Structure 1
Amino acid sequence: MRSNSFAIFIAPAIILSSWASGAAAKEPGQLHYEMPSMSLSVALQKIARRTDHQLVADSIAIRGKRSKALRGDYTVDQAIAVIITGLDLDFEIKDRTIFIRPAAIQRTTV
C-alpha cells in the first residue's frame, strides 16, 4: 500500500513540473523585459542596445511619444511591435538595424 500512495503523490508532481518547464520555454531569440511605459526614444534605445542592434528613427515621428509597457519574453521584432502599438509608426529590421518611421498613409481612390 505504501508504494501506491507514493505513486499517487509523485505523478501529479511530475505532470506539474513538465507543464511548468513547457510554459517557461522561450522562443529562440527571446529576451525577458520588465519595462514600464517611458519615453519612446529611451525605450527604443534600450531594446536596441540589449539586442545588439543599431537604431535609426525619424526624430520628428517619435518626439513626445511614450512607449507601451513591455513585460514578458519577446524577440526584438515582437518587443518593438508592442511598444509602438497605437503610435502611427512602422518599423523594419534589416541587417541588425531597427528602422522606425511614420506609418504609411493609406490612400484610397474615389
Structure 2
Amino acid sequence: MRVSSLAAIVGPMISIAIIVPGAAAHEQHRRHYDLPAQELRFATRAVARRVGYQLVADADAIRGKLSKPLKGDFTVQEAIAALLEGQGLSFEIKNRTIFIRAAIGTRSLATL
C-alpha cells in the first residue's frame, strides 16, 4: 500500500516536472518587437534577423506590400503570421528558415 501511495504522490509531480519546463521553454522563444508599418520585405527581414533565421521570400509576391506595425512580445511564428495577415501570403518555417510565398489560389502582380 505504501508503494502505491508514493506512486500516487510522485507520479503527478513527475508529470508536472515534464510539462512545466516545456511551457517555460516556449515562453523563452518570445521576443519583443516594436516595428513601424513599412515595406513587408523589411519587416519580415527584421523579424528573421532578430531570431537568427534565414528568410526566403518570393520577391514578386511581397513586392509593394506594406506591413502593419508590430508591437509586443511574439514567437517567430506569431510575428510572421501577424505581418502576413490579410496579405494573400503564406509561410512555413523549417530548419531555422522562414519561407514566404503567395498563398495557394492567389497570384502575385507579376503574373497578372
Taking structure 2 as the reference length, the TM-score comes to 0.69
Q: Which stretch has the larger CA shift, 63-72 or 26-35?
A: 26-35
Bigger Rg, structure 1 or 2:
1
- What corresponds to 2:86 in structure 1? 86
Deviations 1:67-106 (A, max 9, x none): 1110100000000000111000000000000000000118
Runs of 4+ in 1 over 4 A off after TM superposition: none
- What corresponds to 1:12 in structure 2? none
Q: Answer yes or no: is 1:57 the counterpart of 2:57.
A: yes
Q: Answer yes or no: is 1:42 the counterpart of 2:33.
A: no
Structure 1 regions of 5+ residues with no counterpart? 1-25
Distance 1:102 1:48 in 2: 18
Distance 2:85 2:34 in 1: 17
Seq. identity, %: 52
Deviation at 1:47, TM superposition (A): 0.6
Structure 2 regions of 5+ residues with no counterpart? 1-25, 107-112
- What corresponds to 1:73 in structure 2? 73
Q: Answer yes or no: is 1:33 the counterpart of 2:52.
A: no
**Aligned counterparts, 1:2-41, within 5 A:** 27-41=27-41
> RMSD between aligned alpha carbons?
1.4
Q: Which is richer in helix?
A: 2
Taking structure 1 as the reference length, the TM-score comes to 0.71
Q: Which stretch has the larger CA shift, 29-38 or 97-106?
A: 97-106
Distance 1:60 1:29 in 2: 30
Q: Answer yes or no: is 1:101 the counterpart of 2:97.
A: no
1:32 is paired with a residue whose SS is strand
Distance 1:27 1:69 in 2: 22
Q: How many residues align?
A: 81
Distance 2:46 2:57 in 1: 13
Distance 1:32 1:42 in 2: 17
